[in-house]
Structure 1
Amino acid sequence: MDVEPGTAVVRFAALGPLELRAANGEPAFIGQRKKRRLLALLLLHAGGWVSTEQIAVALWEDDPPRSALGNIKTYVSELRRVLPPASDGHPDVRGADSGSPLGRILSRDGEYLLRLAPNEFDVDLFDAGARGGEEELAAGRPAEATVLLDRALALWRGEPYDDLPAEIAVAETTRLAELRWAVWENLVDARLRLGQHNRVLPTLRALTIEHPTRERLWAQLLVALGQDGRRAEALNAYQTVYRMLTERLGIEPGEDLQLEHQRILNGDQHR
């Protein structure tokens, strides 16, 4: 997985099937399903304590064996041997005290905690890229925003926390899915401000069909069509979404979508 020069190697990746990299940056293989689930659960709660009860539910769902506690200890011990060492003494290590010569997985009575440092976890990098890209866009720097937003989206390889039962990670996967939409829509806005409508127009056409109730996509489609000189097509697109919203949902288009429609009517090829 590529990262910017001067940053740490991404050790843990959960935006898709679980991936792990060893201290030398090479992929590390965890073949046993239970150990993969355990690591995914610890990543889901990285920097926080996870109880053996939570682990048992994630590993065996409704049917833990009588040996569950012993098995968990074994899985933790085996994970400790394969995980890359933590950056001891780093002030930003999540879940650790600065200067403490501790292992990657901490333990106390009935609980475990996984320590992470900055740039080690793709979810943290995605969150940071989403935030940074939005800030650059708000500050009027669309070129800088595209770099951060593109990099954030490139971290995705599939469904996040794919190794865990869906109900275990539903809150976080829902958050990530919505944030991914926001990142993509911010990237489209940035490209439109740079006049790069041709780069987003085909995808916008497809996504407005696939997700017809996402008004921001329709507003962006109107902008892209207007920038491409397709005024009649933009007006037809607005009529399509207007009928869909009023007839199917019983609501009027939102203010932003109406504003884009008015700009098309006025011949204002903005942004």
Structure 2
Amino acid sequence: MMFRLLGPLDVCGPDGASLPITQHKQRTLLSLLLLTPGNWVSTDLIHETLWVSDSPRNAFGNMKTYVSQLRRKLIDANDLENRIESRVGGYRVFADRHELDVFLFEEAARKGREALQDGDPGRAIGHLQAALDLWRGEPFEELPVAVKQTESTRLEEHRWAVREDLIDAHVALGQHHVVIPTLRALTMEYPTREHVWYRLLVALCQSGRRAEALAAYQTAYRFLAEELGIEPGAELRQLHQQMLTGDLTGPFLRDLRQRQ
């Protein structure tokens, strides 16, 4: 089977078809169990997650019903394993790592970074793009923020690292035309991320657009100074000085790799 969690919950059976898990409580319960697959999740936590307020009188009975319904749907999909196990006070779900898009994302990201570090940006691009293509929205979308926050934040930061690695791989191949539009959009959406500004300046400089790079630095400087009351960090300032002096022969990409 395949459990897709990098966006709305989607469970695909062995034939690749999505299972019709449409009931909200069932989707929330399965998402909670898949947050830590193979680990026991207490019925108390399940109760708090399913019913933030207005808990029904027979909440724990309802919980058993949802588990039973989920088991039946998995069996109907010809997945004959008992995926959801119960004991007094808790439930857990079994899923192989290769059945989870979260694991597939992290595995593809790892292969991409290794390829980049080995000096093979072309191969890295394939793995890194495959990792990003697994994302369909917010991770563990069905769960309350308080429940998923730690894991969701971790995954989002990992996604950022993959984006940066993919940009570095394109720049290493001289594909500045590919990354500059993406970087410009990212600086507008996330203007406080100095690593994004750094990569934009590098890409512009290496494509012979030094004037645009200098203008972009001034935009970054104004935003950080006016909105946050701080100056750009040392790396951005140093790169700016190199641009002013025309010394654009420095090992920019090597510097990027060392900073991660």
- Normalised by the length of structure 2, the TM-score is 0.87
C-alpha displacement of 1:136: 2.2
Gapped runs of 5+ residues in structure 2? 254-260
Residue 193 (str. 1) matches residue 172 (str. 2) = yes
Match of 1:158 in 2: 137
Match of 1:226 in 2: 205
Match of 2:156 in 1: 177
Match of 1:77 in 2: 68
Map of 1:30-69 to 2, 5 A cutoff? Answer: 30-69=21-60
C-alpha displacement of 1:247: 4.4
- For residues 10-52 of structure 1, the C-alpha deviation after alignment (integer angstroms, 9 at most, x for no partner) is x111111110111222111112111111111111121211011
| Aligned pairs, number | 248
Q: What's the Cα RMSD here?
A: 2.1
CA distance in 1, matches of 2:177, 2:200: 11
- For residues 181-214 of structure 1, the C-alpha deviation after alignment (integer angstroms, 9 at most, x for no partner) is 1111111011111111101111111221221111
Structure 2 letter corresponding to 1:220 = R
CA distance in 1, matches of 2:17, 2:223: 50
- For residues 148-195 of structure 1, the C-alpha deviation after alignment (integer angstroms, 9 at most, x for no partner) is 110111011111111122222111111122211111111101111111
Q: Percent identity of the aligned residues?
A: 52
CA distance in 1, matches of 2:117, 2:79: 36
Map of 1:229-240 to 2, 5 A cutoff? Answer: 229-240=208-219
CA contact (8 A) 2:192 2:224 kept: yes
Match of 1:97 in 2: none
Regions of 4+ moved over 4 Å: 84-87
CA distance in 1, matches of 2:112, 2:79: 29
Residue 268 (str. 1) matches residue 249 (str. 2) = yes
Match of 1:4 in 2: none
- Normalised by the length of structure 1, the TM-score is 0.84
CA distance in 2, matches of 1:268, 1:157: 39
CA distance in 2, matches of 1:247, 1:158: 32
- For residues 50-87 of structure 1, the C-alpha deviation after alignment (integer angstroms, 9 at most, x for no partner) is 01111111111133222111111111111112226779
User: Which one has a larger percent helix, Structure 1 or Structure 2?
Assistant: 2
CA contact (8 A) 1:49 1:113 kept: yes
Residue 23 (str. 1) matches residue 14 (str. 2) = yes
